[in-house]
Amino acid sequence: MSEQVADIALIGLAVMGQNLILNMNDHGFVVCAYNRTTDKVKLFCENEAKGTNVIGAYSLEEMVGKLKLPRRVMLLVKAGAAVDAFIDKLLPLLSIGDIIIDGGNSEYHDTERRTIELEKKGILFVGCGVSGGEEGARYGPSLMPGGNVKAWPYIKPIFQKICAQSDGDPCCDWVGETGAGHFVKMVHNGIEYGDMQLVCEAYQLMRDGLGLGQDEMSKVFEEWNKHELDSYLIEITRDILKYKDDKGYLLERICDTAGQKGTGKWTAIAALEYGIPVTLIAESVFGRCLSALRNSRIEASNIIKRKRSTFKGDKNEFINHIRKALYASKIISYAQGFMLLQEAAKEHNWNLNYGGIALMWRGGCIIRSRFLGNIKQAFDKNPKLTNLLLDDFFSDAIINCDESLKTIVSTAANISIPIPAFYSALGFLDGFTTAKSSANLIQAQRDYFGAHTYEIIGQEGKFVHTNWTGRGGSVSSTTYDA
């Protein structure tokens, strides 16, 4: 019988797993490390973990035998089948009340299913979003745990110690039931897609529209990072732009085809499922898809000759417009993300703490930025806030930046520079602030060709059908919401 000395086990020794283990070790926790390819365990213990209190295990049985009760096992493996396979192997080795934590980027429906299925077998399952990349895992990530709440008292002391700290508060708290943790992480990643796309479009406006060199652009991002745009992504963009190797600036030699792992796509799919207009994130996902069509783009640029030019006005003034437009568009993207969180919470009966979620994102994660504190304040002030744009701080910011957003969108259109995320931000803002939309015509059209009915203003809730041509009948189609 192995001596039960480990506080937690972690399965999966890729860079994130290794760094999270070392982080836990630094905070005084004894971790048992395991990997399906056991050679990695030996290498890790003899190199990165040498001189630490980390324990290696060369079988799941050995790993489980080293754990204190209740046993806590964290998985950092590829999402999908690999998670289910490890759960199946662990179940015969665990006891009632033991805890399995999935720290990968799992799809939230999978987490929901696993939480319910494992609870029936007496195992407490947690789906935990982990953000911050390699550095975050090593020195303090943002952690978003959800699932079976009975597990929280047993993982809270570890997670709140190893996570990032912001103004003395841990960037980790219990998110909610079943798939809530991974849903919040999914939306976080969707917002990350939007942030990255907006920053890249600002870069392209300056590079192709203003003709700025990389050192000039790096200085612009450095200045932006001192004020309301202060954030991790602005900071690293500054560093990337000025980075040189022996061949000069590296950035312009990097192929312009962006990869993705699926969480942005999942966010866009969820937005469609819940009927929430998360347009900027969806446009950012499509932006990556379009970037992947590199050969077609090169061919099209040679066949479809479009008029392109550079900006002719005051460059410094236009840079200021880009800054303000970027700020407004980021606010709109976050507002859309929180709209999606609120709708999903209604559907799943999750008791989400929106201010708390903003606090979790204040440190350790990729989207950490200054105005997340303002999001927390907005929900603290009004816990029933239906949209961030209706909070005084954010509505004032939008009003202040509105003309700049219009200016860069119109200018980009005139000089043929693609900025679809900025277009999307302006389109959403125009639509959201329009009291009377054109959807009355859509309803009339639907009723004309499909007898789908409509409501009369002042008689909402009563659906009627008109025989528009005199040839139709009085029978209407079934009414439903998509």
Known catalytic residues are 185, 192
364 is known to lie in a ligand binding site: no
Binding site annotation covers 321? Answer: no
14 is in an annotated binding site: yes
144 labelled binding-site residue: no
- Dihedral, CA atoms, 167, 169, 172, 173, nearest 10 degrees? -140
Element (H, E) at 187: helix 180-204
33 is in an annotated binding site: no
Cα(49)–Cα(257) distance, rounded to whole angstroms?
36
Angle (CA) 277-283-288 rounded to 5° is 150
| Residue 459: partners with Cβ closer than 8 Å, 6 or more residues away | none
Distances (CA, A) of 107 to 14, 111, 178, 286: 20, 7, 12, 20
Flag whether 446 is marked binding: yes
Was 470 annotated as part of a binding site? no
Task: Please indicate if the annotation marks 279 as binding a ligand.
Answer: no
**132 annotated to a ligand binding site:** yes
Burial annotation 73-82 (CB, 10 A radius, 16+ → b, else e): bbbbbebeeb
Collapsed DSSP state (helix, strand, coil) of residue 239: helix
Find out whether 182 is annotated in a ligand binding site.
no
d(CA 133, CA 131): 6
- What DSSP letter does each residue of 5-57 carry, written as one string? -BSEEEE--SHHHHHHHHHHHHTT--EEEE-SSHHHHHHHHHTTTTTSS-EE-
- Would you say 387 is a known binding-site residue? no
What's the Rg (C-alpha) of the chain?
25
374 marked ligand binding residue: no
47 annotated ligand-binding residue: no
Binding residues for NADP(+): 12-17, 35-37, 77-79, 105
Binding residues for substrate: 105, 131-133, 188-189, 193, 261, 288, 446, 452
Binding residues: 12-17, 35-37, 77-79, 105, 131-133, 188-189, 193, 261, 288, 446, 452
